[in-house]
Structure 1
Amino acid sequence: MKKLILATAATFGLALASPANAQDTAEAESHVPTDLNILMWTQPQRDFAFPRMEELAPVRTIPNADTFRELPRGPGLDLAIAIDGESWTLDRYFADQRAAGVIVIHNGEVRLERYRMGADVDTRWTSFSVAKSLTSTLVGAAIADGHIASLDAPVTDYIPELRGSGYDGVTVRQLLTMTSGVRWNEDYTDPNSDVSLFNQVTPEPGVDPVVTYMRTLESEVEPGTRWQYNTGETNLIGVVVANAVGMPLADYLSQKIWSRIGMAQDGEWIVNAGGNEIAGCCISATVRDYARFGLFVLGGGTIGDERVVPEGWFAAAGTRQADIGAPGRGYGYQWWTFDDSSFAAQGIFGQGIFIDPARNLVIASNGNWPVASEAGYRERRNAFYRAVQMAVDAEGGGE
């Protein structure tokens, strides 16, 4: 197969291994993404790319360890999925969501696990913005380790290149809650939006490309007074953490969490043109390993006798810190929150980790929606979450 260079939203290079024969070569090349923007890939291109991003892009590995956490199997769930007043089967739901993998873990047991679209238990799949919630967890770890003074520390203390920009006076907390007040356009359908362009800048020596772009943006309102979804700011959070701890994000994630909670496989994290992890996106892992991370969160962020994040970190991170204008929902520290105390990591095209501490429940899913983000797909996924909650309640709830 010929080698291609592809600049996507992550601005990464593409070099695929050669398939076994000419027919495989032709078929694979017909699905290799060629657009400069990952958000503009076709559905067949996404189907091809999402389970093999580490083959298409430069990555930094998140090493696991030699032992992994077993996930014992429990009895199946008796689910009744109701969407818009109509009863749906699991098959219909999975087809609608174009789900590649779904796992439900209740009280530490696998109650439902299913794979489609050629994926299986060993398939790594890209996370998109699910990575945001892992990045925010590293902020908690860096605070616990003493590398970041507090959530109220100015961002410019850790990214001095932002001084004199719209981020003067913005705190780490305001980045985490997306309340900086800085101008931003997150339109996934617009190739000229900030989210499409911010990782396509020409790198400057010694400066993360995201900083080069973000310091050109102006403040529109006083920090802390407006919530606006902003992937660029999650990437700034990654720069804050990496600068504070003095190591790449993948290494810190492995050191603090990934290698210690029983992950079955290494993770892979795409890096940008500056060679730094794209903190708001693009960790590849198996659906079971996403669930294992969810179990770590469910446990309050402790590993053995060690507290990896500050006391009460996830209680705060998974609670509404910003009003997003949706009844019953909010935004925490890079987690989407529900007023019943559950919260979720969510990525475009259908990725997710749902955590319900009251029910001792974790749901992880990978997939490829026909569109990046659309209310109907989100609401039907939420309906599936509610169906699982109701099934657990019918059995007697949590532990």
Structure 2
Amino acid sequence: MKRSFASLALPTLLPALLASCAAVPVPEAPAHADTGLSEAEGEALYQERFARYMRREPGAGLAGYDTLAPVEGTAAWTPFPKGSGVAPDALAAARAYAAQANSSAFLVWQDGHMVSEDYFGETTATSPVVSKSLAKPLATIAVGRAMAAGHIASLDQPMADFLTEWQGTPKAAITIRQVLGMRSGLLPQGSSTDPESVLNRSYLHPFHDRVLIEDYPLVDTPGSRYEYSNANGDLVALLIERATETPYEDWVGREVLAKIGARGGQIWMDHPGGTPHSGCCILLPAESYLRLAVLLAQDGTWEGARLLPEGFVTAMRTPSAQNPHAGLGVYVGAPYVEWRGPANPELTYGRNYHSEPYAADDLFLFDGNSNQVVYVVPSRQLVVLRTGDSPPNEPVWDNTVLPNLILRGLAAN
């Protein structure tokens, strides 16, 4: 009998930084080269991971994934042509701001050209950068590719069409759009020191896919409330694998990265041959994240080929009534709010400072932990990227400085 984790999931929630279609059976997820991890071995590995994580040992956090699988990118990488177009003083000021903020990379692309490409410390153009939540827009794009290929009918299709275990339960009402937009009604992100908490088990357990499907609780009516949660992001891998009958890492490599000429990398698997984490845990060169943003700046097209369905990027950058700054995997720049972040707008933790409005009304952004940001301005065909560790506490990181310097530099040039 398949074991349920329900008896082990006792959530202890603490604040932390962060139109339906008929249900039809679909094939199970494709078989990875699974190592045959037993229940007992899986539980032991989880307890080891949890203990290491709680001790904050080196390798216990986001950079220390204990099982990585390759994600293939393009076989023939070609750089963007070099270009100018930003006033030199504005570009120099933006570089200096990135340099003093513990950045690993600062990249500026504009109208088909790489205007600036700077790496700091030991980071190079091919160094793997831990995505943190930059993985979430990638996961959303992977869904768009599955829609374009005919594997998914609509953003408003029920998740239960693919996660058939949810059929006949309250979770059957959850749609793909609600998962991508953090409005699924599933338990919000939080932290806990309890090894039995579903928050820890859904992240660290080597059978985290089963924890997500069987035990992660529904706490609000689907669509009624915005609540940030890594569980939503990690559900995308299960959706893609069941919809496309392709391992998530292969789908991302072949149908996303290779299509936009991006280098590949690695992704964290819950165990060898298991299920990848799509909500956080991919390692790619900084320029690959930039190319994802370029694809969106170009409305889902690349070199004249449409990779995402017509209207998909508009859907990504359209906020919901529950959060005026959150789209699908991305965040929306306007309207101006001085302090805001990925959590529910009613909550005060995890907010970033914005000293002024963004200098372009159509700006939207990828925004990950440690202030890893990729700003997208379609009207100016502009992408600005900053990756790295958390900036120093003083002076406080200002989320508007980099894009506004570059936008004003474009206007002045």
What is aligned with 1:36?
52
CA distance in structure 1 between the partners assigned to 2:394 and 2:158 by the alignment? 34
Question: Does residue 272 in structure 1 map to residue 282 in structure 2?
Answer: no
CA distance in structure 2 between the partners assigned to 1:234 and 1:35 by the alignment? 24
SS in 2 for 1:353: strand
Structure 1 position 376, deviation (Å): 8.2
Structure 1 position 161, deviation (Å): 2.3
- Greater relative contact order structure (CA < 8 Å, 6+ sep): 2
Q: How many residues end up aligned between the 2 structures?
A: 340
SS in 2 for 1:167: helix
The percentage of counterpart residues that share the same residue type is: 22
What is aligned with 1:346?
367
What is aligned with 2:241?
242
Structure 1 position 220, deviation (Å): 2.8
Question: Does residue 335 in structure 1 map to residue 341 in structure 2?
Answer: no
Q: CA 1:144 to 1:184, structure 2 compared with 1: closer, same or farther past 3 Å?
A: same
SS in 2 for 1:181: coil
What is aligned with 2:179?
175
Alignment map for 1:247-326 (pairs within 5 Å): 247-263=246-262, 265-273=263-271, 275-324=274-323
Structure 1 position 359, deviation (Å): 1.1
Q: CA 1:376 to 1:281, structure 2 compared with 1: closer, same or farther past 3 Å?
A: farther
Which structure 1 residue ranges, 5 or more long, are not aligned?
A: 1-6, 15-32, 82-86, 204-208
Judge conservation of contact 1:342–1:357 (CA < 8 Å) in 2: yes
Q: CA 1:148 to 1:68, structure 2 compared with 1: closer, same or farther past 3 Å?
A: same
Question: Does residue 57 in structure 1 map to residue 63 in structure 2?
Answer: no
CA distance in structure 1 between the partners assigned to 2:206 and 2:134 by the alignment? 26
Judge conservation of contact 1:71–1:110 (CA < 8 Å) in 2: yes
Q: CA 1:370 to 1:384, structure 2 compared with 1: closer, same or farther past 3 Å?
A: closer
RMSD, aligned CA: 3.3
SS in 2 for 1:250: helix
Q: CA 1:244 to 1:168, structure 2 compared with 1: closer, same or farther past 3 Å?
A: same
SS in 1 for 2:325: strand
Deviations 1:74-107 (A, max 9, x none): 23643559xxxxx977435422x21011101112
What is aligned with 1:383?
401
Deviations 1:3-61 (A, max 9, x none): xxxx9xxx89x9xxxxxxxxxxxxxxxxxx99633x9747x8699x84xx6xx532222
CA distance in structure 1 between the partners assigned to 2:115 and 2:50 by the alignment? 40
Judge conservation of contact 1:166–1:182 (CA < 8 Å) in 2: no
CA distance in structure 2 between the partners assigned to 1:283 and 1:150 by the alignment? 26
Structure 1 position 306, deviation (Å): 3.5
Q: CA 1:215 to 1:46, structure 2 compared with 1: closer, same or farther past 3 Å?
A: closer
Judge conservation of contact 2:68–2:268 (CA < 8 Å) in 1: yes
Judge conservation of contact 1:63–1:267 (CA < 8 Å) in 2: yes
Which amino acid letter does the alignment assign opposite residue 72 of structure 1?
Answer: P
Q: CA 1:281 to 1:102, structure 2 compared with 1: closer, same or farther past 3 Å?
A: same
Q: CA 1:225 to 1:79, structure 2 compared with 1: closer, same or farther past 3 Å?
A: farther
CA distance in structure 2 between the partners assigned to 1:150 and 1:288 by the alignment? 30
Judge conservation of contact 2:87–2:412 (CA < 8 Å) in 1: no
2:380 corresponds to which of 349, 354, 359 = 359
Which amino acid letter does the alignment assign opposite residue 128 of structure 2?
Answer: R
Which amino acid letter does the alignment assign opposite residue 344 of structure 1?
Answer: L
CA distance in structure 2 between the partners assigned to 1:152 and 1:34 by the alignment? 36
Alignment map for 1:60-79 (pairs within 5 Å): 60-75=69-84, 77-79=87-89
Structure 1 position 121, deviation (Å): 1.5
CA distance in structure 1 between the partners assigned to 2:142 and 2:278 by the alignment? 10
Q: CA 1:202 to 1:71, structure 2 compared with 1: closer, same or farther past 3 Å?
A: closer
Which amino acid letter does the alignment assign opposite residue 338 of structure 1?
Answer: G
Judge conservation of contact 1:101–1:113 (CA < 8 Å) in 2: yes
SS in 2 for 1:220: coil
**TM-score, normalised by the number of residues in structure 2:** 0.73
Which amino acid letter does the alignment assign opposite residue 78 of structure 1?
Answer: P
CA distance in structure 1 between the partners assigned to 2:163 and 2:202 by the alignment? 17
Which amino acid letter does the alignment assign opposite residue 334 of structure 1?
Answer: G
SS in 2 for 1:331: coil
Deviates most, 215-224 or 132-141: 215-224
Q: CA 1:292 to 1:40, structure 2 compared with 1: closer, same or farther past 3 Å?
A: farther
Judge conservation of contact 1:155–1:170 (CA < 8 Å) in 2: yes
